[in-house]
Amino acid sequence: MGGLSLAKQLVDAVIADFPDHKPGTRPIHTIGVGVEGYFEASDVAKTYCIAEHFQGPRVRVQVRFSNGSGSPKQHDGWSDVRGMATRFHLKDRATDLIAMTLGEFFVRTVEEFLDFTGHAHQTPISRVPLLQKILAMIQFKVFQRDPYPEQVASGDAGTLDYANKHRFAQLSVVQAGDIGAPVSYVRASYHAVHTFIITGPDGVRRPVRFSWKPVAGVRTTDPRDPPVDVYLKKELENRLDQWPARFLLMMMIGEPGDALEDPTQPWPARRVRVVMGTLTLTNVAKDQEAASEKIGFNPWRLVPGIEASGDPILFARRDAYQESQQRRDATPCPFHGS
Amino acid sequence: MGFVDKLHKFVNYELPKSPFFLWIAAKILVPFWAWRTPVKPLPGGPRYSVQPGDNVQRMMNLIMPLKDKSPVGRARAAQAIAANKDEIYAGLDNVGTVHFARFVIVDDNICMFSVYDGDFTNYIRDFIATIGSVFDSVVELVEGGKDVIPSEQNVEKFIDWVHAHDLYQVPDTVTDILRDQEAAGGDTSGTNDLLELPREIILQLHVNPNVSLGSGYRAYPGYSVAQVRERFGIGW
């Protein structure tokens, strides 16, 4: 299967999971907000990686926070994975780091991804009858949460079925089912999930995984409260009017034997963890069309010092993101010289 | 919100925490499911590992029930630690693989929590060699401890005894408890249904009431005592 036809297939598969998908918008992470700020590398970052944004001087960044759904309807308060795509603007180019609130991905290969998205089709849902809930309780089983107001379909049953048949998907499915809604986009941890290979000034190459850790701390909304559909952008505007928001960029260094090419596998918490820098977000971008809708990120927009690992999902994302950007007429950002 | 909605909200959020349900769960449901789908207690102590990062900053969490379950018994345990302060510090300094070690009394248990580098059996062996007498004075106050002291003359038996009191370390990733139970042949339910995960955890905590949760947070993961001391210029 060719790269482009596979990319088309991947994008189509994702779109098929959201029947109300609006052509011209992102297939997932459709609703988002563009934010501006800067990144400052830590003192030790340059000893691990020669990439330009880790050398010290302040670097301008654009960040797009997003809700995971591919639906054009905004439901900030629904339990959902959130995204944080960051563009570092360097001297004569740019590099992206794409992260999400889920620590691991659902599948290991493109074939599994297509199978998974096939399972994740939306199916009608309704509230579980009271007696069934009580029956589940006495069996110490989880029962499906009540649908949100206006929610008539969900992909949860299919993803659960997939996870019950495929152990590698179990961790991410459990975590996604329990992820909740953040009280703020800057009160969640975001993980880049895939392994990248960095090169230090001494030529040493290390496998690493990146995560953004919010200085404001992690907090989700109370699931007992009725979900609010629209609040995350306003909350960010109000917050940044008062004070900047910050994230630490943490980098975990893998060891031989760790899953370098399998994004479903977490690395042990005992791995060396390095503070690579601080991201400071100063304001919500005025031009949201450019900063959120048209901007096109790609996990393969890398600079010397950072390479993609052999992770097949990471590999597939390069063309899939390109394909998606072409379909929605996003602002082109070449891999070099942007 | 209508009556039925309120009822659903009650069942979703309030009923599982209500004294009524908690009583039913403890007295009837847990014993029933423990009989119907029994699980074996998972073994305590650190996981087998060969990677460098897994071999440093390992946890030991000993919970040892005191023979004398009275304030006098607890005071005797406190006294045993206080009386051996010099021996403990000298031993810890010399063994050189211990990041932190603490003795704690919780109810009628004397507990030792430590973070150390390297192999578990060597860690205990080192301590028997350096402060075996302190171990002896504590262990003789503990249920079943008499059989393994003096530790210097019962090295392997003593190591096994300590291992048996080391808590099961629940994995960081919640679904891995299913894999642990399968590996130990301790899961008879044969389930692969994630909806039953809460029951699997409840039944494991039924047979294994004291556990360590997760692999523990570390401010400087991946570094040994020796590396930290060397970097800060405070020892080898």
List, in order, residues 6 or more apart from A111 with CB less than 8 Å away: none
Q: Is the pLDDT reported for residue A125 higher than 50? A: yes
DSSP B13: I
Residue A335 covered by a domain: no
Q: Specify the pairing of strand B211-213 against strand B168-170.
A: parallel
Residue B232 covered by a domain: no
Task: Output the six-digit token pair for A112.
Answer: 């599994």
Contact (CB<8Å) A272/B52: no
Q: Which of A146, A170, A271 sits opposite B12 (nearest CB)?
A: A146
pLDDT band of B49, cuts 50, 70, 90: confident
Q: Is the pLDDT reported for residue B191 higher than 90? A: no
Q: Let me know: does A195 contact A260? Beta carbons within 8 Å.
A: yes
The model's pTM is 0.92
Residue B8 covered by a domain: yes
Residue B44 covered by a domain: no
Chain A residue with minimum CA distance to B8: A130
CATH at B152 = 3.30.70
Q: Are residues B59 and B144 in the same domain?
A: yes
Q: Let me know: does A130 contact B7? Beta carbons within 8 Å.
A: yes
Q: Are residues B134 and B76 in the same domain?
A: yes
CATH at A208 = 2.40.180.10
Min CA distance, A250 vs chain B (Å)? 12
Q: Let me know: does B57 contact B117? Beta carbons within 8 Å.
A: yes
First to last CA, chain B: 67
pLDDT at B236: 65
Q: Are residues B97 and B176 in the same domain?
A: no
Q: Are residues B193 and B98 in the same domain?
A: no
Instruction: Report the distance separating Cα B221 and Cα B201, nearest Å.
Output: 27
Contact (CB<8Å) B194/A130: no
Residue A338 covered by a domain: no
pLDDT band of A338, cuts 50, 70, 90: very low
Over residues A285-301, mean pLDDT: 96
Q: Are residues B156 and B58 in the same domain?
A: yes
User: Of B137, B182, B199, B163, which Cα lies nearest the Cα of A137?
Assistant: B199
Question: Where is average pLDDT lowest: A83-87, A157-161, A270-274, B181-185?
Answer: B181-185
Phi/psi for A153 (5° steps) reads -145, 160
Q: Are residues B75 and B32 in the same domain?
A: no
Residue A144 covered by a domain: no
Q: In the block, which residue shows the tokens 């809460």? A: B198
pLDDT band of B102, cuts 50, 70, 90: very high
Contacts of B52 in chain A (CB under 8 A): 255
Chain A residue with minimum CA distance to B13: A224
**pLDDT > 70: what percent of chain A?**
97
pLDDT at A2: 57
pLDDT at A330: 87
ipTM of the complex: 0.86
Residue A31 covered by a domain: yes
Residue A127 covered by a domain: no
For residue B150, whether the previous peptide bond is cis, meaning omega lies within 30 degrees of 0, is: yes
Q: In the block, which residue shows the tokens 């950007």? A: A325
Q: Let me know: does B221 contact A269? Beta carbons within 8 Å.
A: yes
Q: Are residues B156 and B69 in the same domain?
A: yes
pLDDT at A331: 81
pLDDT band of B189, cuts 50, 70, 90: low
Instruction: Report the distance separating Cα B132 and Cα A194, nearest Å.
Output: 47
Q: Are residues B148 and B107 in the same domain?
A: yes
Count of the separate structural domains present in chain A = 1
Contacts of B222 in chain A (CB under 8 A): 253, 270-273
Task: Output the six-digit token pair for B227.
Answer: 């590396």
Task: Output the six-digit token pair for B169.
Answer: 């370390």
pLDDT band of B48, cuts 50, 70, 90: confident
Q: Is the pLDDT reported for residue A102 higher than 70? A: yes
Q: Are residues B140 and B178 in the same domain?
A: no
Q: Is the pLDDT reported for residue A337 higher than 50? A: no
Contacts of B46 in chain A (CB under 8 A): none
Residue B46 covered by a domain: no
Task: Output the six-digit token pair for A329.
Answer: 């007429």
Residue B7 covered by a domain: yes
Residue A112 covered by a domain: no
Chain A residue with minimum CA distance to B25: A138
Q: Which of B9, B192, B218 sits opposite A164 (nearest CB)?
A: B192
Q: Is the pLDDT reported for residue A120 higher than 60? A: yes
Min CA distance, A27 vs chain B (Å)? 28
Instruction: Report the distance separating Cα A32 and Cα A255, nearest Å.
Output: 35
Q: Are residues B111 and B222 in the same domain?
A: yes
Count of the separate structural domains present in chain B = 2
Domain carrying residue A93: 3-106+169-327
Q: Are residues B10 and B98 in the same domain?
A: no
pLDDT at B235: 79
Please count the other Cβ atoms lying within 10 Å of the Cβ belonging to residue A29: 23
Q: Let me know: does A27 contact A70? Beta carbons within 8 Å.
A: yes
Q: Are residues B60 and B146 in the same domain?
A: yes
Residue A63 covered by a domain: yes
Residue B231 covered by a domain: no
Min CA distance, B145 vs chain A (Å)? 33
Task: Output the six-digit token pair for A322.
Answer: 């390109």
Q: Which helix or strand (DSSP H or E) is residue B120 part of?
A: helix B120-139
Over residues A188-195, mean pLDDT: 98
Domain carrying residue B91: 52-168+218-226
Residue A145 covered by a domain: no
Per-chain mean pLDDT for chain A: 94
